[in-house]
Amino acid sequence: MAPGSTVQNAAVAAASLPLVAVWPLVAAYVVATNRGGAAESFSAVPGIGEDGGAVAGAVALVGGLVVLAVIGATLLGGGPLGDGRQPTGSATTTDSTGDAATVEVVGVVDGDTMDIEYRNGTGDRVRLLGVDTPEVHTAVSPDEYEGVPDSEPARRCLRDHGHEASTFAERELSGETVQIRFDEAADRRGSFGRLLAYVVDDGVNFNHRLLERGHARVFDSTFSESARFYRAESAARETQTGVWSCRDA
Catalytic residues: 127, 135, 194
Q: DSSP character for 219? A: -
Q: At what angle do helices 5-32 and 52-77 cross, to 10 degrees?
A: 170
84, amino acid identity? G
Q: Are strands 195-201 and 123-128 parallel, antiparallel or unpaired?
A: parallel
- 207 CB neighbour count, 10 Å cutoff: 24
How many whole angstroms separate alpha carbon 175 and alpha carbon 245?
31
How many whole angstroms separate alpha carbon 30 and alpha carbon 8?
34
Torsion (CA) 5, 10, 13, 14 in degrees, nearest 10: -150
